[in-house]
Amino acid sequence: MTNHLQEQARAEIHQDISQSNGDMQANENQHVVSAVADDNNSEFVEEQELESVAGPVRIDMEDEAMETIIEEAEPMPEMKYPAEHPEMEVIGDEENPDPEYSGEVIVEECDQEPVFSGKLDVDYASFTRKELVERLRQLLDKIELDATRKDVDIIKFQFYRKLKAEEELKRAEHIENGGATDDYVYEEDEQELILKNLLNRYREIRNTQTEQLEADKQKNLEEKFKIIEELKELAKSSDSISGTFQNFRELQNRWRSIGLVPQNEVKNLWDTYHHYVELFYDYIKINKDLRDLDFKRNLEAKIELCEKTEALLLEPSVANAFRKLQTYHEQWREIGPVPQEMRVEIWDRFKAVSSQINRKHQDYYDKQKEIQKKNKEAKEVLCAKIEEIIQRPMDSTNQWRKNALEIIEIQKLWNTLGHASKKDDHKLFKRFHSLCDSFFNLKRKFTDREKEEQNNNLQLKQDLCVQAEAIKDSTEWKATTEEFVQLQNKWKEIGSVPTKFHESIWKQFRMACDYFFEQKAKYYSSVDSEYDNNLKTKRALIARIRNFEQSKNSQESFEQLKEFQRQWAEIGYVPIKHKKKIQDEYREAINKQFDSLRMDDSERNRLRYKSKIETMVSAPKSRGKLDFERDRLMRKYQQLQSDLVVWENNIGFFSKSKKSEAMVASVQSMIEQGKAEMQELEEKIRIIDSVNDDKSIK
């Protein structure tokens, strides 16, 4: 039916035009018809000018629905944009939009970030890749996918941007650990597979919607041709003017309510429609009052449209303003003529605002180009920085590691920068990654030279592990502790080992050390408890010594003091932090009791010394201490013997002089003191010998 209507309409246009011209010449109201015709012709001229003012029908790729904003308009001249506006390009739906994509690093899966004016409701940059995939799944459950196109493109860009950053870090870590650049293999992860499946589903849904849209357009075309047929018959109607005009308005409203039609039928459809509108105005001989009323309504509609267009100057989103402008121009096209005296004024008003919005639209993308220029300069600085790092002298592993970390930080900074122009961005990307690869290749060569040394270090550390495991069960706590400390110091002096053995060899050595020190800690935890008990016992003994009251029998008191000393010697060790204090308290208490004994000083000193020796005998390692004490006394005794010989010889020398009585008396006093001291030493030595004899018998 559609094809039949189209062919019939084209054939009848020429016939109806000829007939209308003939009728117009015979019409008694020719001046009215001419005025109407002039109005319509002026409106068509206005529409042609509208096409040029509306600007380029440049569809913002943020929203695919904008592709059909002017589908029903006549073809308009395409605006020549600046050479590059990569932001206006759509992030493709292909699974691999980059022909140079390789499995080594995902760098171009969604390399160009979609740029949209205004702000999204959701900050997708803060999402993880898993959250982005889940968000896409939720969006696909919505019916209106056109409204989610912007979100889908941003989700895809953010996902691959994050994946790219992760892969760059993994790749850098692989190279830093000694791996070759060519050995790195990119492994597709689970979230990427899910994302691709969801994008395939998204494309299938959009294809289905597109097919449905095309079917709807075809149906709309048929409906509009039906309206043209009704309009054709209406022009021949003999009904009253008011009734006919009301029917005409109803047909216009129906026409405007019908949606889009196939693009290739737009021009023919509008030509046919306008032709029969002209015929309607001609044939029904509309009176001037009714026409003026119609013009007035059209003027009001166009004034309202001008106000809406002027409001777009305050719209924060340049792209939204430009998109709405296209819609308003389409509405302007559908509104009929206005009074002749207002025609130029209202059109100039609408055209002026449209021009301002177009300039803002162009300025916006000029600013984007300036931002791209700054991004280019920033990326060139980063490339120059890496070139400077490569030229640095690096002779140690630490230097290479430090510079590698600096390179990685530069890579992170690179990922935060926006895009340059598409041509420059590709060149800078290749330059940047070539420099990074050069650095890590040099680092790998250095690492190869270090491997032999690391293998030697591994052998040395394995030897230390063997030594540590051999002594970890020892209970010679002090000596073994010193051995472990020496092993640990040697371990620190040895350099690094191959990365794959670093953790295991350290765990092996650490386990042996930890085992010994844990056993030592368990032992001393029980010893500490015993030491605390000993401390309490010694404090109690000191209290008893202080409270002891001596009897009149000095010997009995002396024996009791000896018993106190014996008890003290039998008590074991105390905590080291209390050792000196408790020992001083004990000596003060026992010496005070000895000083109170009723006997001469020599006897008191002899008993005190004997008590000291007996206390020493009961202590650990007493044999060595007694031997040391006896040797000390013997050396002193022998020294006194030698001194006595000298002093006695001196007396014989001094006695020959008449003025040496004072000197002789002094030497004689020294001899007597020496002999007394020798007797005291002999007594102490006998005490030690008697104690040793008793100990030997026991």
Please spell the DSSP secondary structure of 93-123, one letter per residue.
Answer: -SS---TT--SS---STT-SPP--SS--SS-
Average pLDDT (417-446) is 87
* pLDDT tens digits for range 5-37: 445 444 444 444 344 433 433 333 333 333 333
Measured between alpha carbons, how far is 71 from 262 in angstroms, rounded to an integer? 8
Q: Specify the DSSP element, H or E, that contains 272.
A: helix 266-283
**CA torsion sign, 403 to 407 to 408 to 410?**
positive
Measured between alpha carbons, how far is 547 from 171 in angstroms, rounded to an integer? 82
What's the burial of 381, exposed, middle or buried (CB within 10 Å: 0-12/13-18/19+)? exposed
Average pLDDT (472-476) is 87
pLDDT band, residue 65 (cuts 50/70/90) = very low
pLDDT band, residue 125 (cuts 50/70/90) = confident
- What is the crossing angle of helices 2-26 and 190-234, to 10°? 40
Residue 79 reports pLDDT greater than 60: no
Average pLDDT (219-244) is 80
Average pLDDT, whole number, for the chain? 75
What's the burial of 409, exposed, middle or buried (CB within 10 Å: 0-12/13-18/19+)? exposed
Q: Is-contact 442 390, C-beta < 8 A?
A: yes
CA–chain centroid gap for 534, Å, is 58
Q: 170 versus 600: which is more confidently predicted?
A: 170
pLDDT band, residue 80 (cuts 50/70/90) = very low
Residue 104 reports pLDDT greater than 50: no
pLDDT value at position 147? 61
pLDDT value at position 304? 93
DSSP assignment string, 191-225 = HHHHHHHHHHHHHHHHHHHHHHHHHHHHHHHHHHH
Look-up of token digits 């559609």:
2
Q: 25 versus 502: which is more confidently predicted?
A: 502
In angstroms and rounded to an integer, the radius of gyration of the C-alpha atoms of the chain is 55
Q: What are phi and psi of 259, to 5 degrees?
A: -75, -155
Least confident stretch, 236-245, 335-344, 642-651? 236-245
Q: 19 versus 137: which is more confidently predicted?
A: 137
User: What is the number of alpha carbons within 13 Å of residue 253 lying toward its C-beta?
Assistant: 6
CA–chain centroid gap for 137, Å, is 25
pLDDT value at position 51? 43
Long-range CB contact pairs, 537-546, < 8 A, 24+: 537/571, 538/568, 538/571, 538/574, 538/582, 538/586, 539/582, 541/567, 541/568, 541/571, 541/586, 542/582, 542/585, 542/586, 542/589, 545/586, 545/589, 545/590, 545/593, 546/589, 546/592
pLDDT value at position 491? 92
Any idea where the domains of the chain sit in the sequence?
2-79+223-366, 86-204, 369-454, 498-620, 621-698
Angle (CA) 342 343 346, round 5°: 75
Average pLDDT (210-238) is 85
Measured between alpha carbons, how far is 125 from 538 in angstroms, rounded to an integer? 73
Average pLDDT (665-678) is 83
DSSP assignment string, 476-528 = -HHHHHHHHHHHHHHHHHS----HHHHHHHHHHHHHHHHHHHHHHHHHHHHHH
Query: Considering only CA atoms, which of 338, 346, 345, 344 is closest in space to residue 305?
Result: 346
pLDDT value at position 674? 84
pLDDT band, residue 697 (cuts 50/70/90) = very low
Measured between alpha carbons, how far is 93 from 196 in angstroms, rounded to an integer? 10
| Contacts with 629 (C-beta within 8 Å, 6 or more apart), sequence order | 613, 616, 688
CA–chain centroid gap for 326, Å, is 43
What is residue 183's DSSP assignment? G
Residue 545 reports pLDDT greater than 70: yes
Average pLDDT (183-200) is 84
Query: Considering only CA atoms, which of 326, 312, 306, 327 is closest in space to residue 357?
Result: 312
Average pLDDT (163-189) is 79
Residue 596 reports pLDDT greater than 60: yes
pLDDT value at position 114? 65
Q: Is-contact 83 94, C-beta < 8 A?
A: no
Average pLDDT (486-495) is 89
For the record, the structure tokens of 250 come out as 């109803």
pLDDT band, residue 436 (cuts 50/70/90) = very high
Per DSSP, the chain holds a count of helices (H) and strands (E) of 19, 0
Measured between alpha carbons, how far is 17 from 287 in angstroms, rounded to an integer? 22
Q: What is the pTM of this model?
A: 0.32
pLDDT band, residue 103 (cuts 50/70/90) = very low
pLDDT band, residue 489 (cuts 50/70/90) = very high
Average pLDDT (526-537) is 78
Least confident stretch, 358-362, 423-427, 437-441, 540-544? 423-427
pLDDT band, residue 101 (cuts 50/70/90) = very low
Amino acid at 616: M
Measured between alpha carbons, how far is 261 from 218 in angstroms, rounded to an integer? 6
What b/e readout covers 312-342, taking b as 16+ CB neighbours within 10 angstroms? beebebbbbbbbbbbebbbebbebbbbeeeb
Average pLDDT (446-474) is 87
Query: Considering only CA atoms, which of 495, 406, 390, 496 is closest in space to residue 443?
Result: 390
Q: Is 687 left (phi over 0), alpha (psi -120 to 50) or beta?
A: alpha
pLDDT band, residue 299 (cuts 50/70/90) = very high
Q: 471 versus 698: which is more confidently predicted?
A: 471
DSSP assignment string, 308-322 = HHHHGGG-S-HHHHH
For the record, the structure tokens of 488 come out as 């640990």
pLDDT value at position 287? 54
Average pLDDT (344-365) is 91
pLDDT value at position 57? 35
pLDDT value at position 644? 83
Q: 381 versus 29: which is more confidently predicted?
A: 381
